[in-house]
């Protein structure tokens, strides 16, 4: 299966979770699970032997940097960390020119930046695969890890309900696009004015094919009978100046034990981290029996290994 899937993916960009089908998502996760099991057995893989990944960071990162760097090492390749401030990008070189030069040196580019338009421009100019490591619009690698964690915990996607509670941000966007592709229902609850972008909601509903896509303002209604509850920080990077005001507005949207009582008794809780404990999530939830947050963080490594092995 790997060989045929690699033929299908080789050289492709991964800019949005909407770029792949539900079938392809499931196949990537199957490979990620095989790589995870192999890692625990102590087996070594050299699927990226001799390959180099350039990693451009315009935003700080813990999990994205470490997981991609370790993934390349474990696959026999090499990851090159590039702080945007140290590149000529920081001195006015266009992102397209950067893409053209990097394409002569390395086999793939992962970029974590502010604007989805920059990632698209990079991919259009590059002759090698470009991976979206996070933008203001989407966080597709995070959602691959979330889906892998859900599959590990529940054994299926079909018929499950996932609830997003909090800001309608980039992670929410990717979850909205992914859930109907794997036949999960999704309910999003945000304060009024903080809903996901209408373009994303429309795309999610178009992909629904029988799954339910809801955008609400009531967290209790979103979480009701949910199998999976997901949240993220209330003020993302670049929104620090809004933090105090956002805490006031988002307070009723905290995921705590009281809110989780409206979900299914065996529901699981996910958070992409870092978590602001006492704000979007209570200790009793992130440290409680429903939490799969640490599995989710680990799975960033395994899904990215699968992605790198396929596209490079």
Q: Residues within the annotated binding site? A: 61-64, 88, 112, 139-142, 170, 232, 236-237, 272-273, 300
Catalytic residue among 272, 292, 302, 304: 272
Nearest 5 degrees, angle CA 56-CA 62-CA 67?
75
Q: List, in sequence order, every residue forming a beta bridge with 250; answer none if it has no partner.
A: none
Q: Is 112 a catalytic residue?
A: yes
Q: Is 267 a catalytic residue?
A: no
Alpha-carbon distance 264 to 66, whole Å? 34
Residue 158, both tokens: 């079909």
Q: Is 232 a catalytic residue?
A: yes
Annotated binding residues for carbamoyl phosphate: 61-64, 88, 112, 139-142, 272-273, 300
Residue 229, both tokens: 């509850």
- Cβ-based neighbours of 233, under 8 Å, separated by 6 or more: 166, 167, 274, 275, 276, 279, 280
Catalytic residue among 74, 116, 142, 304: 142
Phi/psi zone of residue 229: left (φ > 0), alpha (ψ -120 to 50 degrees), beta?
beta
Catalytic residue among 146, 172, 232, 267: 232
Give the DSSP H or E segment for 259.
Answer: helix 257-260
Annotated binding residues for L-ornithine: 170, 232, 236-237
Alpha-carbon distance 73 to 183, whole Å? 34
Q: Which of 52, 63, 78 is nearest to 112 (CA)?
A: 63
Q: Which of 234, 241, 185 is nearest to 213 (CA)?
A: 185
Catalytic residue among 107, 139, 167, 267: 139
Q: Is 287 a catalytic residue?
A: no
Alpha-carbon distance 253 to 156, whole Å? 28
Q: Is 139 a catalytic residue?
A: yes
Catalytic residue among 58, 112, 173, 181: 112
Residue 247, both tokens: 């805490």
Catalytic residue among 181, 246, 300, 302: 300
Residues carrying an active site annotation = 112, 139, 142, 232, 272, 300
């Amino acid at each position: 299966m790997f060989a045929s899937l690699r033929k299908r993916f080789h050289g492709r960009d991964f800019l949005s979770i909407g770029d792949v089908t539900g079938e392809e998502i499931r196949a990537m996760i199957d490979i990620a699970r095989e790589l995870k099991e192999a890692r625990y057995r102590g087996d070594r893989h050299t699927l990226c032997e001799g390959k180099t990944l350039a990693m451009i960071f315009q935003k700080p990162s813990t999990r994205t940097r470490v997981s991609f760097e370790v993934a390349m090492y474990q696959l026999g390749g090499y990851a090159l960390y590039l702080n945007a401030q140290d590149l000529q990008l920081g001195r006015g070189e266009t992102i397209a020119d950067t893409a053209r030069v990097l394409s002569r040196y390395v086999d793939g580019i992962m970029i974590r930046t502010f604007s989805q338009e920059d990632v698209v421009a990079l991919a259009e100019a590059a002759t090698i695969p470009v991976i979206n490591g996070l933008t203001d619009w989407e966080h597709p690698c995070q959602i691959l890890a979330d889906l892998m964690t859900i599959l590990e915990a529940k054994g299926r996607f079909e018929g499950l309900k996932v609830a997003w509670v909090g800001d309608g941000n980039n992670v929410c966007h990717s979850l909205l696009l992914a859930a109907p592709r794997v036949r999960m229902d999704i309910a999003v609850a945000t304060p009024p004015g903080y809903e996901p972008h209408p373009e994303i909601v429309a795309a999610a509903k178009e992909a629904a094919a029988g799954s339910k896509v809801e955008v609400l303002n009531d967290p209790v209604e979103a979480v009701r009978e949910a199998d999976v509850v997901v949240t993220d920080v209330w003020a993302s990077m670049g929104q620090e100046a809004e933090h105090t005001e956002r805490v006031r507005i988002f307070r009723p949207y905290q995921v705590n034990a009281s809110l989780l009582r409206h979900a299914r008794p065996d529901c699981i809780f996910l958070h992409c981290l870092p978590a602001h404990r006492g704000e979007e999530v209570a200790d009793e939830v992130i440290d409680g029996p429903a939490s799969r947050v640490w599995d989710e963080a680990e799975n960033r490594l395994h899904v990215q290994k699968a992605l790198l092995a396929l596209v490079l």
